[in-house]
Each structure stands twice: as C-alpha cells, then as structure tokens.
Amino acid sequence: MTARAILRFAPSPNGRLHLGHAYSALLNQRVAERLGARLLLRIEDLDASRCKREYETAVVDDLAWLGLVFETPYRRQSEHGDDYSNALDALRRRGLAYPCLCSRSDVAAMARGTRDPDGAPRHGPRACRLTQAETERRVAAGASPAWRLDVVAASRGDAVWRECFEGEVAFERRGDALAWGDVLLTGRERAASYHLAVVVDDALQGVSDVVRGRDLLEATAAHRVLQDALGLPQPTYRHHRLVLGEDGAKYSKSRGSLALCDLRARGVSPADARTMLGFGDGPPSVRLSEDGESAFPKS
C-alpha cells in the first residue's frame, strides 16, 4: 500500500503574512488536494529576537481567513531543540561538522567578495580565521562556537533532487553544494540554522512533497547534502513562482509589502484574494515571476 503524501506550509512568525505567503499556502493546498495528501502547518520560530507569539496568532488567523485548513496540533521549531542537537551530534560523529569562532566580519573579510547563492559572504571550505586546533583549544576553555558543515567532506559538489516546479512531472535537477561553502548548522544563540532545521523537520514530519518559492531553489543543494549526510529521505520539490510588487521585486516582509491584514481592512474578501492570485476563475491579477514552469492543473 502506497503511503499517503504529506505537505507542509512553514511560515516564520516575524511579521504579517503577505500575498507571497498566500500564494505559497494556496498552492500547497491545491497540490495536497491533487495528491490526496495531508497538509501540515509548521511554525519556524527559531529566531527568538524576531519571532513573536502575536505574529504566530496572526499567521493562523490569516490562513483561516483564506479558507485553509491544516492538521492540528502544528509543530513549533522552538519546542524541538533536542531534534536538532541530535542531528548535529550525528554529523559531528561522522566528522562532517566542525566548530567555528569566525564573526560575520571575519567571514566577510575572508570571502573577498565571494557570495553564496543568498548573497551573503561565503565561508569557504575550512576557511576559518583560526586553525582548527586553536578553535578547539578556545572551545575547551569555554568559548561558544557556531557549527558548520564540512561541505567538501559531505559532498562531491553536485547535489541532485526530484523537481516539479509547478508541473506534475518530476525531473532530475542538479545544484552546486560547494557554492554555499561551509553552511552554518547552528548559531551561537540559535538551536539550528534554517538549513539544518528544515531538513530535520521535513524528515520527522514525513514530508513527501515540499512546495515553496523559487527563491529557495538553490538552497535545495545544501539541503540534499544534509539529507544524505544524515541518512534522511528525499522529498520531491516543487519550487513555485514568486509574487512581485510594482517595482518587479518579490514580496517580502523586510520591504514592507502589502500584508493580508491590510487587504482585509480594505474590504477584500477571501474569495477576492484567491482570485487575485489565480486560485479563482481566470488568470491572476498580480504579477508573478516568469521563472516558473507550467501551472499545476486546477482541481
């Protein structure tokens, strides 16, 4: 008997949801309905300095307003630090993770202008400002390190995954894991980085299909390396188009993009919002990036 597919929508409660989030959540719902899948909600709240419970409440309210129904209870990352610690320990035992005392300015100086796919200064393979022996000596003396993945030891460079974009047929997609350098696994004040937490969560929740924005397409190379290093299953990925503002930039919280609560205050109905995004009758009225594949058929 074939196991039932599982999807998840995983927002961070560090601000109000906008139309970009709504597009992703609604596409998760559409794909779940098409596959006869379970649909989970995960709250990615590991950044304690920015994530707030009032935003989490607002996220749940906005999703309910859109007509989305998720299984309960939902998973909060902040309640599962032991899961990430266990994964880190497994990588350490295999010699695939190492402590790092580099500051952000250290990494920027050593990167010499090179950037990872997210645009951040790239920490090259084993490129710490201190020797590993000196780092270990300082850690033994009480220094608090971050932990990084040894990407060369963990990967041959290329990472391969099953990709669908917004279509139905999966094909083989390749990405360069080395482009990320030695990605952070934990910060000094955070139980896990996004890369480690999302891989661990997807495996523990049995996620079979990951539906998320094309802005995370390149990150999948790092995620596939971590999945293989930890012996975790590989989901099928569906990286979708992004909602763009009038200036052509993607919707984002940091840019103050129009939030769903603002639309609600203007009298926009849930049906209107769904139609704007192409989940009603006719094409979307918002601008979508042109780097997606053919749209997933409507149910």
Q: Domain limits of the chain?
A: 6-288
H helix intervals, the chain: 19-35, 53-65, 81-93, 104-111, 132-140, 151-154, 194-204, 219-230, 260-265, 270-276
pLDDT band at 254 (very low <50, low <70, confident <90, very high): confident
Per-residue model confidence as pLDDT tens digits over 107-132: 999 999 999 999 999 999 999 999 99
CATH of domain 6-288: 3.40.50.620
Nearest to 56 by CA among 71, 75, 39, 38: 75
Q: Which amino acid is at 219?
A: A
- Please give the model's pTM, rounded to 2 decimal places: 0.94
In the predicted structure, residue 171 carries a pLDDT above the cut 50: yes
β pairing state of 97-100 and 146-149:
antiparallel
Per-residue pLDDT at 292 exceeds 60: no
Q: pLDDT class for 296, splitting at 50, 70, 90?
A: very low
- Map residue 217 onto helix, strand or coil: coil
